[in-house]
């Protein structure tokens, strides 16, 4: 057994993928929900950019409904994995400031990636980057982190997942540090060949309020709605560019 070490799960894309697939994350249902939210507002939307796309598991589903899809992520490991999984253009970039050479009918960011923004200025910069990449009438969908009123102080999460011949045990402990969620995650990874390895990761995400999310959309020139769905217990913010007079 190796000693405990600190490592980002986002630098271990294949493990992220195996864990969330094995845990049964409903990428198909989530992509269908987001697609319908987009098409309800722009029926002809046929292109989509997934920002902080991770392993690309949503993108493979979006590619079945949209004629053109692309992804973007900060982590080189995730970028390589998403390219392999999807075969579509995946850009390495920072959601807070990126420039691609085209626009999209939809720009989405799922599973709370936007909560890695450290403050409202960064969240506003992120929404402005998204809005700059919208075609006329285009739609932004973001899945926030838990809103402060839904945050569970001291929450302990435990999961054991069997996937690809390996066993993954994940234990998390989350506490509030002012306006920030501090989640420590420990992973045990075990297989017959490699025995047991152990690493831990720390995620600091901002507990933005609903008002802060809505302010960031407004500053990016968008109208926004907050919708809840059983497939998205953290809710989804759905934005469209404010029509100019």
Question: Binding to ligand SAM by residue 174, rule CB under 6 A?
Answer: no
Tell me what percent of the chain is helix, strand and coil, each rounded to the nearest 5: 30, 40, 30
Q: Least distance from C-beta 111 to ligand SAM, angstroms?
A: 3
Sole binder of ligand SAM in the list 48, 88, 106, 110 (CB under 6 A): 110
Q: Least distance from C-beta 12 to ligand SAM, angstroms?
A: 11
Give the binding range for ligand SAM (CB under 6 A) out of 90-98, 148-156, 159-167, 223-231: 90-98
Tokens representing residue 116 in the block: 């890695």
Q: Least distance from C-beta 185 to ligand SAM, angstroms?
A: 11
Tokens representing residue 185 in the block: 């995650």
Q: What angle do CA 47, 30, 135 make, to 5 degrees?
A: 20
Question: Binding to ligand SAM by residue 82, rule CB under 6 A?
Answer: no
Question: Binding to ligand SAM by residue 10, rule CB under 6 A?
Answer: yes
Sole binder of ligand SAM in the list 38, 48, 53, 189 (CB under 6 A): 53
Give the residue with the Cβ less far from ligand SAM, 81 or 137: 81
Identify whether the C-beta of residue 30 lies closer than 8 Å to the C-beta of residue 110.
yes
Question: Binding to ligand SAM by residue 52, rule CB under 6 A?
Answer: yes
> With the CA atoms of 49, 51, 56 and 59 taken in that order, what torsion angle do they form, in degrees rounded to the nearest 10?
-30
Question: Binding to ligand SAM by residue 235, rule CB under 6 A?
Answer: no
Give the residue with the Cβ less far from ligand SAM, 95 or 216: 95
Question: Binding to ligand SAM by residue 111, rule CB under 6 A?
Answer: yes
With CB under 6 A as the rule, give the number of residues binding ligand SAM: 17
Sole binder of ligand SAM in the list 35, 60, 75, 205 (CB under 6 A): 75
**Helical H runs in 23-159?**
27-41, 57-62, 76-86, 120-132
Q: Kindly report each contact of residues 71-77 with a partner whose C-beta sits within 8 Å and lies 24 or more positions away, as own/partner.
A: 72/98, 72/100, 74/10, 75/8, 75/10, 75/11, 75/13, 77/10, 77/11, 77/12, 77/13
Half-sphere exposure of 71 (CA within 13 A, CB side): 29
| Binding residues vs ligand SAM (CB under 6 A) | 10, 52-54, 58, 73-75, 78, 94-96, 110-113, 116
């Amino acid at each position: 057994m190796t000693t405990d070490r600190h490592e980002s799960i986002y630098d271990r894309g294949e493990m992220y993928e195996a864990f969330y697939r094995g845990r049964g994350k409903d990428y198909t249902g989530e992509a269908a929900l987001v697609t319908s939210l987009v098409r309800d507002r722009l029926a002809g939307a046929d292109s989509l950019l997934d920002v902080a796309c991770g392993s690309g598991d949503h993108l493979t589903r979006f590619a079945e409904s949209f004629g053109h899809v692309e992804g973007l992520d900060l982590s080189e490991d995730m970028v390589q994995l998403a390219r392999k999984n999807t075969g579509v253009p995946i850009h390495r970039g920072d959601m807070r400031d990126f420039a691609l050479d085209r626009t999209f009918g939809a720009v989405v960011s799922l599973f709370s990636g936007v909560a890695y923004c450290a403050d409202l200025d960064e969240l506003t910069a992120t929404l402005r980057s998204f809005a700059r990449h919208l075609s006329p009438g285009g739609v932004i969908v973001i899945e926030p982190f838990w809103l402060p009123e839904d945050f569970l102080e001291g929450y302990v999460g435990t999961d054991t997942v069997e996937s690809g011949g390996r066993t993954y045990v994940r234990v998390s402990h989350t506490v509030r540090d002012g306006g920030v969620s501090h989640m420590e995650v420990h992973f045990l990874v075990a297989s017959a060949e490699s025995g047991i390895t152990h690493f831990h990761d720390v995620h600091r995400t901002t507990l933005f309020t609903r008002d802060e999310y809505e302010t960031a959309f407004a500053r990016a020139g968008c109208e926004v709605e907050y919708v809840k769905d059983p497939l998205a217990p953290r809710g989804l913010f759905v934005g469209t560019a404010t029509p100019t007079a």
